[in-house]
Structure 1
């Protein structure tokens, strides 16, 4: 979703909606004589996010174990919403137990915040499920300039990475996708450059020493327009029937890639991906 020049993921928007709703509830009650609980709510939010991240990392530990510092890279959007919600509830109960005067406004703020975030998240999931767009009847080009009908990608689970050489997060995640392409032959990984020339992409691959297959040139941003993409990188997860099942905007890690692959019925690899890209 886009807010002016900002492109925000549905998960982040749901979180922001919940935070605003919770703080608004606390502010409303404060104006009516209840204690101000904005500071405890911020503390609960931060600790809840830490719990959410810790639970996600624990669940996908094989993907993180070879690069422990990647645990700190929250740009991969690797969070467990259920663990975060449970953490928020437990922390609110602890604070309310120690400070009885805060119980009512704290309970109200937390309840409304979680309900609002859950509503926004479920709405986003429902809209995504209803918008399972089929592969479009568009034609892009390969690096040699040959026409490639996008509809021919149907037939096996496919990951389409929309990227550009000038995009920093695109460059950071590229080794992860390149290694996944080598290790998961049952999945077709497609790298669709947006708005650049084949020569620029070939030079980029040479400099970065990337050995990629299925590199396409979408000079007119046709895929971005069809799937309503406004931020890069954006990765599309397409099932074998050619329908969009999931979207990830932003940098992918090994863990978040494995999680999204499950949405198109691809079993995650049993071992962590190596840290280096194929040469």
Structure 2
């Protein structure tokens, strides 16, 4: 589950901060050991992380190749958060192995830098896992009125996977991800039965209704939250934010920021019990 640090309007995932810190420490170790051997930092200080970054992205893209095929430019849009960390680490290990095979003078310093990075990254991941709440958050005790005038109570949806999207019509990434979510809703198999809910934050009903009609969102699944109560109660004021609840009503994942078709499929597979492609 994504855990984030809120700095006013800025929202930063903790794992991203851990990753950046690990990279900085690994680079520092590499450069200092190289200097002790009378070497400059060399090109490996930037080549190694670049190779790992590209491999991590390609690993994720290949896993969801069919979803990226229809929008190839999305491969370059890393804002969707689609990464395969183990593919990146594997590429980094292969890179260092090639340095040893070629007897590169930087092989020892690069290895030490990679080991530092991996150690800090895994330690940070372990700390985040250890400090995570023991019990997963449940569907909140909140209810809203849909555009079809029906009342939807979130706790009553327990028994089926639920995707809750917090959005506003003035939010560009919210607008961009709407077609992706609507397509996923329409394309899901009968076995999945994932309920998609678009909970508008802080806008008047007429604005929400007009935007929903333009986007062809189902009226029964667009909920009004003019006071933004749900986002405040959940501690997520950044938009868009999407929360994924499993069949037991437990919060399985949170995605702060825009979703691509691939990252959405990844999270839906998590809550529906079906393996991702």
* TM superposition score category, shorter chain reference: 0.7 to 0.9
More displaced 10-residue stretch of structure 1: 41-50 or 101-110 = 101-110
Deviations 1:88-109 (A, max 9, x none): 1211232354463322221111
TM-score after normalising by structure 1: 0.85
Residue 235 of structure 2 is aligned to residue 228 of structure 1: yes
Structure 1 contact 157–266 (Cα < 8 Å) conserved: no
Deviations 1:196-219 (A, max 9, x none): 222211111233344454111222
More displaced 10-residue stretch of structure 1: 66-75 or 164-173 = 66-75
Compute the displacement of 1:86 (Å). Answer: 0.7
Q: 1:124 to 1:40 in 2, by over 3 A?
A: same
Note the 1:103-252 alignment, pairs <5 A: 103-128=107-132, 130=134, 132-143=136-147, 147-184=151-188, 186-211=193-218, 213-252=220-259
Number of matched residues? 270
Residue 262 of structure 2 is aligned to residue 255 of structure 1: yes
Deviations 1:226-273 (A, max 9, x none): 332242211111011111011112211111111111221343688xxx
Structure 1 contact 10–121 (Cα < 8 Å) conserved: no
More displaced 10-residue stretch of structure 1: 194-203 or 37-46 = 37-46
Compute the displacement of 1:146 (Å). Answer: 5.6
Which residue, 53, 56, 67 being the options, matches 1:63? 67
SS in 1 for 2:138: coil
More displaced 10-residue stretch of structure 1: 119-128 or 179-188 = 119-128
Separation in 1, partners of 2:13, 2:259 = 13
Compute the displacement of 1:175 (Å). Answer: 0.4
Q: 1:175 to 1:52 in 2, by over 3 A?
A: same
Structure 1 contact 37–105 (Cα < 8 Å) conserved: no
Aligned CA RMSD, in angstroms, stands at 2.6
Compute the displacement of 1:158 (Å). Answer: 0.6
Compute the displacement of 1:125 (Å). Answer: 4.3
1:2 aligns with 5
